Amino acid sequence: MKLWRSLTLCVGLAVLSPWLYDIFRILKILVDNVPGNISEVTPLSSYEIRFADHMRNCEDVVLDTKSGVAIVSCSPGRDKWNTVMGHYMDPNEHGSLYLYRYADAPNEPPVLIPLDGFDAPFHPLGLTYHSESQTLAVTNHGGETATIEIFSLDLEAPRATLRQTVSDPANLPTPNSLVFLNSTHLYASNTHRTGTFTMPKTLLDHLRVWLSVIELRLAIPAGSVSLVDLQTGTATRILQIGFGNGIDLIDDGHTLAVVSTIKAAVYLYSIADNEPTRLTYLRRFTVPFFPDNLSVDAKGRILVAGHPHTKALGKMVRGNWRCHSGEPEYCSSAPSWVIEWDPAAEPTVASSDIYVGNSYASSSSVVRDVDRNFIIVSGLYADGLFILKN
């Protein structure tokens, strides 16, 4: 009997050891990254906040380096409506998309992109752009279900015209970040197994919200990655991952990089030739913060932005609307952390800091134009954009 107990204990520890390791690492991040311990770190010679009076709460940024423009997803209404983090107060203030001509007019404020043919509630999150077909895809948490809005984008005007809306609650339950595989297919990360996108009223609504919270607290891998077929308007769930977040392609589209925020890691998967639904795990790299979005630059390096301390971020989530309503005692800030990771480098030197500090709050996305030596960071609850360069 004692032997069986010992064997059962050993097997149980072996099964739980990866989960326990990640839990310990996450707890260490929370202890090490108390805001008072975060100091300014950057190897770059210049960084500044721009357009703070023009735009705020910008979740994601995508570059078209050939045109020298950035497309930015912003939502001031996130102060009172954040379905990902379970903050439901008032859904009526909608978000916007902006075009920033950083190559030709870096000091000119980004211009608003009109959305022709689109009149639904709009709470944008992640976005991706397919330059060859001039197609823009945006995650929207504004309706009764989460959707992906597909636009034809005229960069010169600028103007976006709605082409289609994709909604699939079963296989696309909580879409967040997006990346085009080609002109007709894209990958979407899902943060949770299920979501609530209207004001929680019923017991079932509140249960869904609490289930999402439990997933986060216990680091349960209930998120996923879906492949979306724009020709049929359908989605297929192909991968399970804890709080799926930032997503992008490397190795000329042969490898998928996906953020797991609750694991504080980025996972890499090879994509089977002609079978985009078949992914094979390659490896992961961990980061010393809770990653949000990622991007890949022209040299194949993965840039990751995220949040060093979730408690500080949570304070901004709860108090930012009061801060912007003239109650300065509720104004707070959450530090930012941005890194780059070189898949070709030795593991011990592959990761390096781009920015760590408190000058810009709640970093959620980062992109880099290598040739123009221009880096843009957006902040989930920050004013303006953070511009870094040498």
Output the average pLDDT for the chain.
93
Domain contains 345: yes
Q: Which two tokens stand for residue 81?
A: 């409506």
Mean pLDDT lowest among 70-84, 156-170, 199-213, 260-274: 199-213
- Residue appearing with tokens 């996972």: 267
* Contact between residue 262 and residue 245 where contact means Cβ atoms under 8 Å apart: no
Q: What is the rounded CA–CA span in Å between residue 173 and residue 385?
A: 30
Of 145, 86, 179, which Cα lies nearest the Cα of 367? Answer: 179
Q: How many domains does the chain have?
A: 1
**Mean pLDDT along residues 269-276:** 96
Give me the count of residues in the chain.
Answer: 390
In this prediction, residue 299 carries a pLDDT of 95
Alpha carbons 177 and 59: distance in angstroms, whole number = 10
Q: Between these two residues, 372 and 204, which has the higher pLDDT value? A: 372
In a domain, 159, yes or no: yes
pLDDT at residue 5 in the model? 62
Residue 189 lies in a domain: yes
Task: Note the pTM of the prediction, 2 decimals.
Answer: 0.94
Boundaries of domain holding 316:
42-389
Q: What is the pLDDT of residues 279-314, one digit of tens each?
A: 999 999 999 999 999 999 999 999 999 999 999 999
pLDDT in tens, 117-143: 999 999 999 999 999 999 999 999 999
| CATH number of 57's domain | 2.120.10.30
Secondary structure (3-state) at 14: helix
**Is 7 within a domain?**
no
For residue 19, tell me if it sits in a domain.
Answer: no
CA distances from residue 315 to 85, 88, 243, 293, 309 in whole angstroms, order as listed: 12, 15, 20, 20, 10
Task: Quote the tokens at residue 277.
Answer: 């639904």
Q: Is residue 177 part of a domain?
A: yes
In a domain, 270, yes or no: yes
Does the residue 384 lie in any domain? yes
